[in-house]
Structure 1
């Protein structure tokens, strides 16, 4: 196994390094402080003050209407009992008005809640995606991509559903409960006290059950992220799975994670669904208490029949928000668990992109001075590495797999920071150069080509900040021998690549990547096995085109095919993160050292 792919302790592999680093599943996170999560979420909520105020107004109107209607009903019952029918129609009209207000306010509450949900979740998703785009490469490599996607989709959807459906219910429950209890106290204090007896038991049971609910809902979200990561990894690398006939093993691994998710989800839902029945039982007991105590007080003349009628409705109305709070609690817990996971990513430290820009006339002088690096402390990958590359020179890095070649490139691009030593470009420490300026000056052609869903033209011009002329693209295509492939496509440069160009051959994809490098015309060029996926004839044409591309540009080449770097100005032979030989092709062959061994082994057909 390559030292570049893993350290002895399992260090993550970077995004373009060959190895299974991208498939790692993140270690389940511990839930953060719930109070801190709620406080953080409130910042997003309060950023939409107008919509929030509109929702509260709708909730308030609905609550007023819902508590006023029973009061008018109480008066209507009393006038019927007393025979004052002339007043009955007025009370009935007021009851109808309250029902209409309640219906309108409830509708507007749902509309405003949906709008509020979309605006807030858009802000959260944008903030999360922005942070992901600025995370260090090492973080992305050491976490499951599926888990990150799960936070962007499942966790965010849970928050959106809670805002649109549960937030209004939460406000309504609190306001309605407060208003209802106030009206009950106004009608009869003794009967109100009797009605609230069961609230104490409700609070005790809720506290006990929620302690277990939170634990299982957080774990369920973690397992969902793990499951998504496993699916993403298997589908992305399905060719490898199929080639080795490991479909059954992949299915078994999926079923194991899915089974753990199922068991955790069942327990979470059982505990969550128990809240409703428990609350209903307590509410029925409350209704019985109101009926018995109300009848007793009415017999002694303390209250009227109309008050009992109102209290029966109020007791139900008081139990409704309590039930709603119990029923939405599980959803709120799920949303908070998702918010914790999202905020966990958003709190990660971004790449340090600050620094000065390189001048436009970058010469491309690169120097490594006593550089040391390890993915895990105590397991060095690069040791005391020193190398100076003059402007416009063509330098090749060779060595056995795991010798540290690609890690050198990672350090130059600042995908990882060196533990010690210094790396400079034109005499300036790359730590003092802004990431954008540094990476804009470097063109990369990798063995594992990355294309995106979109047109061929968009893919070729991906690294450019301005729209290129079509003639410029055609020129780059001719230089890279890509024009033949483009001409064979149904719509030429406007052909859409579906599934990131999955229908193209590996060689065609690599030619597109080489054309992209031609089009960006960087001062520094990095070629990491750039011709490994093309046939020998195409490789020869590409090498000829590379001569013009690399002219007057500093070129750093990583190659296993030693035939591709025979004309390099200097060949650097690496072993265990150190330079063991350096010189031109003929010099190193005649020296009979490590390079000569690699060369003879390769051409003997034994491979490296």
Structure 2
């Protein structure tokens, strides 16, 4: 039955609306992080998280009230001290009363310990759970987006958003938020206590609050807006980094590290300039808050003494309760001020995530809307179909295309690159929506069908198969339907094995060390191309789809692998509607119908033989691809396979088989990730590097000294004020006025000090994060390939570290380190003051109280360091999963894997939550202990001080100076450990940055080789007894290879996948050095040359063309030192047969390529890549399947250009398509890591060996 709303699900006009929305989103992305974004984060808290948040709120408020309650005890105790000093109380009674107050301090200690533990633990658990839900919702939102959404946005930035933004949000709603609540509660509780004690004096003192609120309300929103813009720039920079790191071989080949760093640094400089605008804001925010608070203290004393003199206050106790409440408020402001940056960062991070989440998706792949027919025959009819890509609306790709694809038959699409063949696949999969016309499945417009149902009826095999990290079984099982996912493990394994048997994958999978449980590695790098493709075929048919789409499924394979895969495809196509897109026409000769597409229309169709007889477009394509007339049929030779090579591939495929426990000493260091340096050592080393900032450090030191001196100054003034209240009003009034004035002087000093600290800390912080982001990126790009092959160094993980670690280091070296310095000065100065005024009491309270407090904080930092390192590793794994899914969004969509990916991500996040909570239980105890020990220190001071006072050893003035000095020192030390989370993260970041410097690449430019490069224009290349195995792998890929390549020769390497052809290209590029033997170029070992000067002589064109975000011009000139002229660029494009299609683009060479060149077809991307290679005018040209992605027409033209380009230079081509190397001077045939044949094309045919068999496998028709 057809649902009433089914026909209105996604109409073409909605597609245009979606594109408009996409363009509007670029504007909305500029919005700053607002308070509403911060509040919205809590929408993702579940019931338990809300309970924990409420529990934390209540206990945080209670914990905040504890310290203000101390002022009541202190005020009463001061009264007893005054009575004893005046002789109104005897010594025994005095000590008994003080013991009662000591007990109250112990009660406060227990209360603060328990309440701080519960509040911090609760909110940290709630924050982890909430952030987990938000991360999952964000990924869910991304996977629900239309595919065209990612054409204009860089999917590689997802790793940055999921990790960095998630971490910033977590930081803003976890313990920092509990601190804020606690300090706010403390702030108001202090005034409530004061109001109860003396309401009139308190109200006068509270006049400072409006001033503080006005400053905060003005500065914080402005800061949040700036931070939002800075984060967006960092996100763009993260995308650049992701592009470069994920294509590191290409970056090294063209020695483009410098250009990528420069491109990255341009964004960093913009962020730096924008970020420095916050300097004056921080200066105003910090300084005015301190100024208002200490002005309030001055006002309290000034007015308080007058009220005392007038009889409105009956003693010193109420005045000191009010004053100390004001001082507590001052300490809370000290703690609150730096937190606003954390909350602004969290709001900005949330804003960026919510901006993407709020973009409406017109095509939701997880929606239940639309038709879900019970059967599908697979009859497809395309009617008058027109289409242009959303990012290039002015260019029509399809122009009224009409085509019938009969059910159960094989239909092939052939034609020039960019003619619209693959576009049709995207429209059938509903990655894109047509502009006009219709695509009908069994007579029903596919826009009326449920998207998930439609895609589940289609099996897709692409040119570049995407497998995901996991086992072979998991990758094939990714093709399961929902009903198949509910089967037992045994039944699922049977289905997977059957699919692999059908796709000819079962045999090689069974021989893997762990069979179907063998890990395939990142990007399935442990399998050959043919093996990956066969697993992809198994995945596409395991659900038994009615329709099979084969988009260049064999074009990237060698002849032997191609033969194996083609047999698999022929078998799985039986009784299925199969649509084949092919450049290799040998793969479609048996199709029931072949449609030739040109200029967006079907210009010719029929069977292979009918089209040959008509001598039209198709006949010309066939003639161009036929290598040589042969009498043997294709079917008789397609079974040829290099058995030894296949077995060798199997040995190489296992992650466990290739890993070895014995490492090269020079490589061992690249696995540690840290130097294990302490906080002090990290700070010292980082400080030594900031010579350009020494002036700012000096200025900030002056501010820190002034701010730190505030604490002992307070102790001294307080002790003098005690005496004032024992004097007659006529004597006491002038002194009271003077000491009130001194507090106002302190207020002015803090105004200056924190203005200096606020301005300089941001200047320092922006410079530090800029410097270390650039350094970290530079040091990553300079590493050898072995560094990037390590499991923890995936592109997602490295980009995540690049994004987060410099920010963590910024926190350490700027605001936090300056505030920590202030705390250090206050602890030191007040401790010295206490010892100077009374060594007995000073020794007891300083050395009896502070060491346990510091020890508890130190233990907490050590525990947090371990927790932070583990969490970084766990979240990096989550980032990899999210990044992998979004980077392969088309594969995820075609397999309807959205729910599976989300479930895997959810399971991973749940594991992180569980492990983090277990670690937090113990870590937070030590934090709570460090926050509450100050009450024990005060209890100890009161007890021993009263004893000394009652015995006549100390005066009350001495006691007050020592006690208050110790009180301030204890509070400062406790405040220090509130910064420990930032310190922990920063120490880890500093260690990683310093460690990465110690990872010295083998292939680097140094003083010894800096000026040494090949000196001839066309040097001979010699491989002398060369063997090679990849680092940390047992099996050799190349075995005792010796060959000589003369200058200006055109040489070809052919052979089955995994035989070592591309490995030799990697060795010639010096991505690796041989395990034994050497490579000689121009008379010297290439290891003796500067890699930069050596690679200037080489250009590489790889099988999978790599383009970067930026214009065509920027991509073509990527490997050119200095500036290339317009004439050079145009000439290179012309040679590569790219100029014609570039000129047809509205912006020509200035056309943006988009992420990974998504704006262009495979053939167009490859021609741009060839132009990039030719503009360097290389002496050695390496072509690693350079034309495999091109259609026949483009291949012929480009091959002609390459034939011309090889004149005057040596050319080495790795080829599967043998038509491209027929005219090579020498063809080396590889097998099992050795050269098994060599000679010219005709010489090798005469031998009738392996090369002969490969040629037979690629011959189209003996009659052509």
- The residue that corresponds to 1:366 in the other structure is 1021
- Tell me the distance in 2 between the aligned counterparts of 1:499 and 1:478: 24
Farther-moved stretch of structure 1 (574-583 vs 339-348): 339-348
Q: Which secondary structure state, in structure 2, belongs to the residue aligned with residue 520 of structure 1?
A: coil
Partner Cα separation in structure 2 for residue 393 and residue 338 of structure 1: 50
Identify which range, 211-220 or 390-399, moves more after superposition: 211-220
Decide whether the 8 Å contact of 2:1120 with 2:1176 is kept in 1.
yes
Aligned residue runs from structure 1 range 585-596, under 5 A: 585-596=1241-1252
2:1230 alignment partner, SS class = strand
Q: 1:141 pairs with 781, 786, 789, which one?
A: 789
Listed as ranges, the gaps of 5+ residues in structure 1 are 14-25
Alignment of 1:203-352 (within 5 A): 203-206=854-857, 208-267=859-918, 269=920, 271-294=922-945, 310=961, 313-350=964-1001, 351-352=1003-1004
Q: Which residue of 1 aligns with 2:1228?
A: 572
Q: Write the distance in 2 (CA, Å) between the matches of 1:111 and 1:6.
A: 61
Shift of 1:359: 5.0
Change (3 A) 1:150 1:5: farther
Distance, in Å, in 2 between the alignment partners of 1:198 and 1:454 is 61
Segment drifting more, 120-129 vs 426-435: 120-129
2:1126 alignment partner, one of 442, 465, 470:
470
- Aligned-partner SS, 2:1023: strand
| Match among 1160, 1163, 1174 for residue 507 of structure 1 | 1163
**8 Å Cα contact 1:582-1:588 kept in structure 2:** yes
Residues 54-133 of structure 1 aligned to structure 2 (within 5 Å):
54-83=699-728, 84-85=731-732, 86-133=734-781
- Deviation at 1:568? 1.2
- In the superposition, relative to structure 1, how do residues 359 and 198 fare at CA in structure 2: closer, same or farther (>3 Å)? closer
For 2:700, what is the secondary structure of its paired residue? helix
1:169 is matched with 819
- RMSD between aligned alpha carbons? 2.9
> SS of the residue aligned with 1:556?
strand
Which SS does the other structure have where 1:493 is aligned? helix
Please list the CA deviations of residues 223-262 of structure 1 after superposition, one character each: whole Å capped at 9, or x if unmatched: 2333333333333333344444444443344334333333
3-state SS of paired residue (1:490):
coil
Per-residue deviation at 1:173?
1.8
The answer as to whether partners of 1:66 and 1:99 remain within 8 angstroms in 2 is no
| Alignment check: 8 A CA contact 1:227 1:254 kept | yes
TM-superposed deviation, 1:106: 2.5
Match for residue 519 of structure 1?
1175
1:187 deviates by 3.8
Q: 2:1052 aligns with which of 381, 391, 396?
A: 396
Partner of 1:33: 676
Change beyond 3 A, Cα 1:99–1:190: farther
Deviation at 1:529, TM superposition (A): 1.0
**Which has the greater radius of gyration?**
2
**Distance (whole Å) between structure 1 residues aligned to residue 747 and residue 696 of structure 2:** 24
* TM-score, structure 2 normalization: 0.44
- 1:272-295 Cα distance to aligned partner (Å, 9 max, x none): 544443234322233344445555
CA shift digits 1:131-181 (9 cap, x unpaired): 222211222233311222222221221111122232122212221111112
Partner of 1:51: 696
Cα distance, 1:315 vs structure 2: 3.9
Aligned to 1:561: 1217
SS in 1 for 2:1037: strand
Q: Distance in 1 between matches of 2:1080 and 2:656?
A: 26
Q: Deviations over 1:110-130 (max 9, x none)?
A: 322222233333333333222
2:834 paired residue among 175, 181, 184? 184
SS at match of 1:504: coil
Q: Which deviates further from its counterpart, 146-155 or 406-415?
A: 146-155
Quickly say closer, same or farther: Cα 1:6–1:457, change in 2 above 3 A: farther
Q: Distance in 2 between matches of 1:38 and 1:184?
A: 26
Change in CA separation of 1:381 and 1:538 when aligned onto 2, cut-off 3 Å? same
Deviation at 1:30, TM superposition (A): 6.8
> Is the contact between residue 372 and residue 419 of structure 1 (CA under 8 Å) also seen in structure 2?
yes
* Deviates further, 185-194 or 140-149: 185-194
- The separation in 1 between residues aligned to 2:1004 and 2:931, in whole angstroms, is 55
Quick one: structure 1 residues 10 and 562, their matched pair in 2 at CA, closer, same or farther if it must change by over 3 Å?
A: same
Conserved 8 A contact 1:116-1:163: yes
Deviation at 1:554? 0.9
Does the residue aligned with 2:1178 lie in a helix, a strand or coil? coil
For structure 2, the 5+ residue unaligned runs are 1-526, 529-647, 659-668
In structure 2, the CA distance between the partners of 1:428 and 1:293, relative to structure 1 (3 Å rule), is closer
Whether the aligned pair in 2 keeps the contact of 1:460 and 1:512 (CA below 8 Å) is yes
C-alpha separation between the residues in 2 aligned to 1:10 and 1:404? 19
Q: Indicate the larger mover: 2-11 or 372-381.
A: 2-11
**Are the structure 2 counterparts of residues 38 and 220 from structure 1 closer, same or farther at C-alpha, using a change threshold of 3 Å?**
farther
1:150 aligned to 800, 822, 844, which one? 800
Count, aligned residues:
592
Contact 2:1180 2:1209 in 1 (8 A): yes
C-alpha distance after superposition, 1:420-466 (max 9, x if no partner): 11211122221122211211111111111111111111111111113
Return the alpha-carbon distance in structure 1 between the equivalents of residues 651 and 895 of structure 2. 22
C-alpha distance in 2 between matches for 1:274 and 1:52: 35
By how many angstroms is 1:526 displaced?
A: 0.9
Q: Output aligned runs, 1:407-426, within 5 Å.
A: 407-426=1063-1082
Check whether the contact 2:1025–2:1076 (CA below 8 A) recurs between aligned residues: yes
Structure 1 window deviating more from structure 2 (306-315 vs 405-414): it is 306-315
What is the CA distance between 1:561 and its match in structure 2?
Answer: 0.7
CA distance in 1, matches of 2:1013, 2:970: 68
